[in-house]
Structure 1
Amino acid sequence: MARQPRIEYPGAYYHVMSRGDRRERIFEDDEDRKGFLRVLEETCGRCGWQVVSWVLMGNHFHLQIHTPEPNLVTGMKWMLGTYTIRFNRRHRLTGHLFQGRYKAIPIEEGDYLLRVSDYIHLNPVRAGLVDWEKGGDVLKGYLWSSYLEIAGYGKPGLCAKHKARLLGWCGLKAKDHRAYRRRVSHLAVQERKDRGKGWEELRSGWCLGEEGFAEQILEQVGQGLEKRKKGSWAGGAVQGHDQQAAEAWVGQALKRLGWGEAELRRTPKSAAEKEVMAWALRRQTAVERQWIAQRLHMGYETSVTAAVAKLRKPHSTHRKIMKILALED
C-alpha cells in the first residue's frame, strides 16, 4: 500500500511523535537530550516553527508544534537527519536511529491543543517515571518536558510564544502557575488510576478537532493536490518560501560584504566568504545544498558539504567574515 502524503498548510498545528529504530533508545544520557533540544531550536530558527509543548522519553519523543509556513516535511527531514548524524558521531555508531515514518497529526487550534499538551506532559506518569512517594507536584521531578517551563519553574524557553495562550485555554492568567500545577497534578493522579486510558482520540485518526475540521483541512490543501511535491500536500509553497527566505539572506550578506553579483560570480568557489555563506544558509534556512551551490557559484553540492564540515572548526579568516555577516559561531 502506498504511503499517504503528509498534509501541510500555513498555520498548521501538529502532534508529532517519532520512535527509535526497533524501539531502541534515542537518548543515552542528558547530553543527548540537550543535543536534541538544540537541534529542535535550530529547526525552529530555520523553518519558523513554534513549539507548544514537548517531552523526551527513552526511546521516543512527542512534540506539539505550530508551522506558520507549510514546511513540516522539510523541517522534520532536517531535524531527524541532523540529530541522527550528531548522535551517531558522539556514540561512534552508523545507520538509522529512528523507526520508519514519524507520526504527525494536524490539530485544530484551541482546546484541542491543551488536550494534546496534557497528553504529552503526562507521558512520564504513564511510563512510571515519576516519584509518587514525594507527593505534591510529581511532574516537577521530570526534567525533560515543557511542563517545567509552562508551570513556571524554569526560564522562558522553546514554548515562550505559546505559554500564555496555553494557560488561557485552561481559563488561567499568564502567571497563574500554581493553579496550572494543581490542575496537572489532578490529571496525573487520575492518569495513574486510569492507567493511561481515555486518550483514544489522540492515538487514532489522521486529525484532531471538531466536526468539520477534516473537511476544512482538505478544502485548504485540495487545490494544490495535482501539483504537490512528492510526499506532501503542500504544493509548491514550501520550496518557494524556502528559496525566498534564502534569497533575502544572500542579498543581505552581499550588502555586508560590499559585493555585487559580479564579485560573487568571479570569486573562487572555495573562498572563505563563500564557505561562511554556505554554512550560514545550511544553518539558518531550509534550502537544499544544490540550490546553495548554484546560487553562490560554488560548483557542485559537495563543495557546500565540504564548507559546512570545515566551519565546524572555523579559522581566523572565517571568524572575521562571520563577524562581518553578524553570525555567531
Structure 2
Amino acid sequence: MARQLRHHYAGGWYHITSRGMGRRAIFRDDRDREHFVELLSMMAGRYGVILHAYVLMDNHYHLLIETPEANASRALQWLNLSHSMWFKTRHSHAGPVFQARFKSIPVEGEGSWALACGVCIHLNPVRVKAPGQGKEDIKRERAGFLPEEPPKEQVRARLARLRGYRWSSYRAYAGYASPPEWLTCATLWGRCCPPGKNPKTEYRRCLEDYLRRGVEEGAFVRITAAVAIGGTAFVEGLRKRVPKRARGETNARAWRRILPFGEIVRAVESVKGLEWSGFADRRGDWGRDMALHFGRMRCGLTLKELGEQAGGLGVPAVAKAAERMAVRLKTDRALQRSAARVLRILETKKV
C-alpha cells in the first residue's frame, strides 16, 4: 500500500490529522474523548512531544505538535494504537478504527505560520454551514476571492460555539479554562501578544478578527499542495529533501510539483514565443493569465507572493487572472493545446 512521504526531524513542527475508517466516529461519547485527552497527556510525557494545540471532532482529530526528537511517527503510532484498543474493547468494535495512517504536514515553526495553524485547528468546531464557515466559503477564499465581512450575530454565534466546546485547547488559550501541564500555550501566545498585553485577551482578539474578516493574505494558514504549511523558502527546503526515486510514497510527486514561478514563466515564454516583459502588463493576455494560473496551482505561493513575483500585481488582479484562465481552458481548444505544451515543459524539469 502506498504511504505518505514523511519529513520528521528533530525540532520539527507538524499539523497532525487522523480520521475514522470510512469517516465513521472515533469518539462516540464524552468518555471516549476524556480518555483520548488522557492519552495526549501520556504521549507528551512518554515521548517528549510538545503539544501546542488540539481539537477532537466526532470522526477525526487535529494536533499541532513540536518534536525536540525526531520521533513523531513513534508517538502518533502509539497514540492511535492506544485509542484503537480502548475503542474496540469498550464498544465491541470489529475492524480498524482509523483510516490508514495519520497525516503529518510539516509546519514552519517560526513567524506567523504556527500561530495560523493553531488558530485554524481551534476553528474546526465552527466550520459548518450554520456559523457560515462552510466548505464552499473556504474554497472561495482559497481560490482568491476576498471574503465578505459576516454579520455580527454570526460572529457572536461562532464565538459562543467555541467558548462552549470542551474538546479543544482553545478554552485554555482564551482563558476560559486552566491549561494542563502537558499543553504548551506560551509559544503561540507570544506570536500574537505584544509585550505588556494579556496573552489570553490578545488570542481571543486574534481569533475573533479571523472570524470577522476571514483569511488575510500572508497572515493566516495556507496548505501548499497538502504537503507543508510555511513560507516559500521553508517549502522549497523541504522539497529538496525528496529523493528522486521515492518509491511507495503517495505525496512524493506532490512535493516535486512545487515549482519556482520563474520556471513557469520560462515555459510560457517558450510556448508563446515572447519574453515575459512583452506581455506581463497586458491585462487579459493569455500568456500572463496562464502563467498566473499555473503559478497558483504549482508554486505553493499565496496570491500576494505570486503577485509580487509577477511584477507587483495586486491580490485581486492575480485571483481574477487565474480564474479567467481556468474558465477559458474549459472550452478554448487552442489554449488547451498551449497549456499542454507548457505542462510538458514543466514535467521535464529535474527535481
User: TM tier, shorter chain?
Assistant: 0.5 to 0.7
Secondary structure in structure 2 of the residue aligned to 1:157: coil
Change (3 A) 1:66 1:93: same
Q: CA deviation at 1:94?
A: 2.4
User: In the aligned structure 1, how far is the partner of 2:107 from the partner of 2:189?
Assistant: 18
| Amino acid across the alignment from 1:206 | V
User: In the aligned structure 2, how far is the partner of 1:5 from the partner of 1:135?
Assistant: 39
Please report the RMSD computed on the Cα atoms of aligned residues, expressed in angstroms. Answer: 3.1
> 2:79 corresponds to which residue?
79
User: In the aligned structure 2, how far is the partner of 1:17 from the partner of 1:171?
Assistant: 27
> 1:274 corresponds to which residue?
none
> 2:107 corresponds to which residue?
107
Is contact 2:41–2:182 with CA below 8 Å preserved after alignment?
Answer: no
Is contact 1:146–1:159 with CA below 8 Å preserved after alignment?
Answer: no
User: In the aligned structure 2, how far is the partner of 1:177 from the partner of 1:77?
Assistant: 33
> 2:233 corresponds to which residue?
212
Is contact 1:172–1:180 with CA below 8 Å preserved after alignment?
Answer: no
Is contact 2:171–2:177 with CA below 8 Å preserved after alignment?
Answer: yes
Secondary structure in structure 2 of the residue aligned to 1:18: strand
Change (3 A) 1:31 1:129: farther
> 1:170 corresponds to which residue?
192
Is contact 2:222–2:230 with CA below 8 Å preserved after alignment?
Answer: no
- Structure 2 residue 177 is matched with structure 1 residue 154: yes
Change (3 A) 1:184 1:68: same
Is contact 1:51–1:158 with CA below 8 Å preserved after alignment?
Answer: no
| Amino acid across the alignment from 2:18 | S
Q: CA deviation at 1:199?
A: 7.8
Secondary structure in structure 1 of the residue aligned to 2:230: coil
| Amino acid across the alignment from 1:106 | P
Instruction: Decide which moves more: 100-109 or 18-27.
Output: 100-109
Secondary structure in structure 2 of the residue aligned to 1:201: coil
> 1:6 corresponds to which residue?
6
* Count of residue pairs the alignment pairs up: 220
Q: CA deviation at 1:145?
A: 0.7
1:278-324 Cα distance to aligned partner (Å, 9 max, x none): xxxxxxxxxxxxxxxxxxxxxxxxxxxxxxxxxxxxxxxxxxxxxxx
Q: CA deviation at 1:105?
A: 0.4
Is contact 2:45–2:182 with CA below 8 Å preserved after alignment?
Answer: no
> 1:276 corresponds to which residue?
none
> 1:280 corresponds to which residue?
none
> 2:167 corresponds to which residue?
144
TM-score, normalising length: structure 2: 0.56
> 2:123 corresponds to which residue?
122
| Amino acid across the alignment from 1:171 | C
Secondary structure in structure 1 of the residue aligned to 2:228: coil
Q: Which residues of 2 match residues 260-299 of structure 1 at below 5 A?
A: none
User: In the aligned structure 2, how far is the partner of 1:17 from the partner of 1:136?
Assistant: 23
Q: Which residues of 2 match residues 177-326 of structure 1 at below 5 A?
A: 177-191=200-214, 201-202=222-223, 204-217=225-238
Q: CA deviation at 1:137?
A: 3.5
The answer for unaligned runs of 5 or more in structure 2 is: 132-152, 250-351
Is contact 2:221–2:229 with CA below 8 Å preserved after alignment?
Answer: no
| Amino acid across the alignment from 2:100 | G
User: In the aligned structure 2, how far is the partner of 1:33 from the partner of 1:123?
Assistant: 16
Is contact 1:21–1:98 with CA below 8 Å preserved after alignment?
Answer: yes
Q: CA deviation at 1:132?
A: 5.3
Is contact 1:106–1:207 with CA below 8 Å preserved after alignment?
Answer: yes
